[in-house]
């Protein structure tokens, strides 16, 4: 059995956040299909989906153009870099048109993204896996996606933002380079060792000092206990909102149910809602720039 048939038959489906992604060999592959149209193959993909897949390890998008015999296997990061050249609507839906030669049509008369090296090139997934050392679970990568989105939302809203992770990246940028604070402020009524390890913090100025406004712990693959424990160091600050971001509200309720004196201080947010809020914030920011208001 050749590489293509064997690995497609063994593909493992991941459903994390917006994307339904398959693990084929050591690559993460988003598969989209389109029937043959009059002139082009049309694919509609939301920005959030493209962003999520491009932040995984060894990410690709397989565009099936009419049949399995005509597949464009494109590195997701390449498409992500070209998004500014592809039309989209106000809801962040990108209109990806692929011509009969399987090149992506870009804005402007006659503009094309040449894709000849990626047509039916299933071996590119094998080559990518050989270059990779250790395979990272998509949940580990998407933890960084959620942290990056929360940082961006805080920045858009004018908060001072902090994240402890020095090596994790979001959209090829280190999380620490996205935040407005390189170091976590020390607070009078908080254990600094716990505080500086909270996944994301938003601060706001009060006189010459910074005071905490919101704290976030992302719990996709880890337990809720550790995140709640770290954020508990902020309980003496009555105006701080404490959030647990996860896909398991039942687990959140079980943990907080054992802490009746403080459970009202914590709020659970489903991870998919962070994406929706992030998308809305970006759209509002773009609209403000467009109309100058």
Cα–Cα dist 104/114, whole Å:
7
Give the residue among 253, 243, 250, 251 at the shortest CA–CA distance from 273: 243
Give the model's pLDDT for residue 7. Answer: 57
- Domain 138-291 is of which CATH architecture? 3-Layer(aba) Sandwich (3.40)
Low-confidence ranges of the chain (pLDDT < 50): 1, 132
Which residue bears the tokens 């990568």?
141
Strands (E), the chain: 12-16, 19-24, 27-34, 41-46, 59-65, 71-75, 93-98, 104-105, 112-113, 160-162, 169-170, 173-174, 200-206, 209-218, 241-246, 266-270
Give the model's pLDDT for residue 91. Answer: 84
- CB 107 within 8 Å of CB 86: yes
Q: Where are the domains of the chain?
A: 3-130, 138-291
How high is the mean pLDDT of the chain?
89
Cα–Cα dist 216/237, whole Å:
15
Cα–Cα dist 133/58, whole Å:
11
Give the model's pLDDT for residue 104. Answer: 97
Domain 3-130, CATH number (from 1.20.120, 3.40.1350, 1.10.150, 1.10.10): 3.40.1350
């Amino acid at each position: 059995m050749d590489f293509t048939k064997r690995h497609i038959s063994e593909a493992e489906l991941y459903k994390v956040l917006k994307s339904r992604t398959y693990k084929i060999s050591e690559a993460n592959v988003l598969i989209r299909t389109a029937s043959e149209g009059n002139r082009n193959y049309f694919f509609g993909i939301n920005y959030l989906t493209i962003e999520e897949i491009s932040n995984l390890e060894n990410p690709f998008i397989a565009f099936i153009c009419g049949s399995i015999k005509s597949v464009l296997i494109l590195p997701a990061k390449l498409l992500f870099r070209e998004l500014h050249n592809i039309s989209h609507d106000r809801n962040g839906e990108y209109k990806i048109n692929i011509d009969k030669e399987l090149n992506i049509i870009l804005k402007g008369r006659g503009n094309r993204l040449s894709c000849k090296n990626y047509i039916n090139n299933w071996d590119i997934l094998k080559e990518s896996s050989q270059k990779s050392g250790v395979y990272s679970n998509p949940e580990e990568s998407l933890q960084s996606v959620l942290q990056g989105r929360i940082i961006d939302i805080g920045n858009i809203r004018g908060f001072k933002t902090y994240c402890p992770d020095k090596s994790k990246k979001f959209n090829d940028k280190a999380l620490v380079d996205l935040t407005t604070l390189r170091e976590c402020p020390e607070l009078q009524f908080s254990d600094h060792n716990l505080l500086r390890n909270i996944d994301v913090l938003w601060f706001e100025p009060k006189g010459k000092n910074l005071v905490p406004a919101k704290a976030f712990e992302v719990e996709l693959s880890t337990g809720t206990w550790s995140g709640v424990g770290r954020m508990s160091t902020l309980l003496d600050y009555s105006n701080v909102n404490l959030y647990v971001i996860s896909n398991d509200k039942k687990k959140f309720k079980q943990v907080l149910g054992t802490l009746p004196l403080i459970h009202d201080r914590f709020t659970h947010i489903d991870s998919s809602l962070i994406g929706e809020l992030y998308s809305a914030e970006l759209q509002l920011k773009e609209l403000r720039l467009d109309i100058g208001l």
